[in-house]
Structure 1
Amino acid sequence: MLPALEATALRYGITPTAAQLVVGVYFLGFALGQLLFGPLMDAWGRRPVLRGALLGFALAAGLTVVAPSFGLLLLARGVQGFFAASFRIGVTASVRDRYRGETMARLLSYALLVLMVAPVLAPSLGVLLLGLGAWGPYAFPALLGALAFLWSGRFRETLPPAKRRPLAWKSLEEGVFWVVRDPRAIRYTLALGGVFGILYAYLSASAQLYKDHLGLSNARFALAFGATGLLLALANLLGPRLVARLGLGRALRLALRGLLGLLLLLPLHALAPGVFSFWLHLSLVLVLVAFTFPNAQARALEGLGRVAGLAASFTGFFSTLLAALLGAGVGMISQGEPFPFALGLLGLGLLGFGAGEAAERRGA
Structure 2
Amino acid sequence: MELRKLEAVEKHMSKCADARKLGDWKAALMEADATIVSGADFSPHLGMCKVEALLKLHRLDDAQSNLLEVPKAEPFPAHCSFSGIACEAYTYFVKAQIEMALGRFENAVMAAEKASKIDPRSNEVAMLHNTVTLVARARVRGNDLYKSERYTEASSAYAEGLRLDPCNAILYCNRAACWFKLGMWERSVEDCNQALRFQPRYTKPLLRRAACNNKMERWAAVVSDYEALRKELPHDKEVAESLFHAQVALKKSRGEEVLNMEFGGEVEEVYSREQFKAAMNLPGVSVIHFSTVSDHQCKQLSPFVDSLCTRYPSIHFLKVDIDKCPSIGNAENVRVVPTVKIYKNGTRVKEIVCPSKEVLEYSVRHYSG
TM-score of the aligned structures, taking structure 2 as reference length = 0.25
User: RCO greater where, 1 or 2, for CA within 8 Å and sep 6 or more?
Assistant: 1
Higher strand share: 2
Q: Which has the larger radius of gyration?
A: 2
